[in-house]
Structure 1
Amino acid sequence: MPRFSATTCGRASALLIAACGITSAFAHPGHPDAFGFNDGFAHPFSGIDHLLAMLAVGLWAAQNKRSALWVLPLLFPLMMVAGALLAFAGVSVPGVETGIAASVAVFGLLIAFAIRMPLWASAAVVSVFALLHGYAHGSELPHGASALWYGAGFVAATALLHLLGLTIGLVAGQKMAAQVVRAGGIAIAAVGAYLLSGAF
């Protein structure tokens, strides 16, 4: 079992505590004041479901390594845009909130057990959940808001959270602190289970 430093453990724990301390359990009550890039950029940080899911994609990509390092963090925002376009087109997708909560739980478990899949399989998992995240925001875009600028801000924040997750995962791997990341996965999965309990 690899060892980890107190500094690395402390930083990872602080990040998880900060994420779990966010008061909003879901990030989809509607956004009447969301009209531009800044609002879109801030939105993923306002809900624990989005924040943890996006962070987890980076962490899991770091665990998978190789092509997953760039494919998964790139695929998530692309499929999120596709989900938003489905919402704009008026396509009905059932169970979105449940699916989003499930994404947090599933990503957490994948990280906790350090599960590696073939790239096509991991890409499929990420694509499905990203589609749901994007659909939720596309369907709730306020009337009169700039879909282009709000969406650009949201995608930028998503990429930043992916990058943060990647950085934590890669640094942990270099410092032999992989178990810290796996412990973080357990915490993420626990939050996902809590969100799922409120989604039904």
Structure 2
Amino acid sequence: MHRAKPLPQYLIKRFQGWKATTYAENEPWYRHLAADGQYPRAMVISCCDSRVHVTSIFGAEQGEFFIHRNIANLVPPYNPDGEYHGTSAAIEYAVRALRVSHIIVLGHSNCGGVNGCHDMCSGNAPELEEKTSFIGRWMDILRPGYERVKDIEDEAERRSALEKEAILISLENLADFPFIANEMEQGMLSLHGLWTDTGEGALEHYVAGTGFVPV
């Protein structure tokens, strides 16, 4: 691959600073993780958005979370068709190999992916309807959620509601994975839905029968 270039200098300097401080001060712990492997208690499925910093929100250390990020923190339906399924593969690994006890779906405010789904489903983003749009086809996962909230008159409220539908759709799809359903029946695995307001630093969790409530 001849088009790849060296890492930008500002990132090299940041790495060197990390290696000389954080790594140097915690070298035994890093070596322990490298030698003994990872044993995370939870998997977190979050958005790719750079403003969502999962480990900072929970004050997590290395080795604590198995994190998978994608556009709009979506989980696709269970569909073992032999094609490429990065999110489903990560989930399978977390449950079957790492034996995590919790799967957390973490959504957030002002989500660009969710806004894209809203615009596409409302007829305002025809480019996302194209079969060649990776984003559009991925956001098809959220179409059922749009149908649930499309009658909300206030647009800002409708978009916010759709952000939470992305979490609920993902939880519903997770529960349909046979190996997840089995672990849940055995009391070995639980699912959780969270939504964070990136500007306010607020966090809400989903409570069945009640909805999203502040933590």
TM-score (norm 1): 0.30
Higher relative strand content:
2
Higher relative helix content:
1
Q: Which has the higher contact order (CA 8 A, sep 6+)?
A: 1
Larger Rg computed on CA atoms: 2
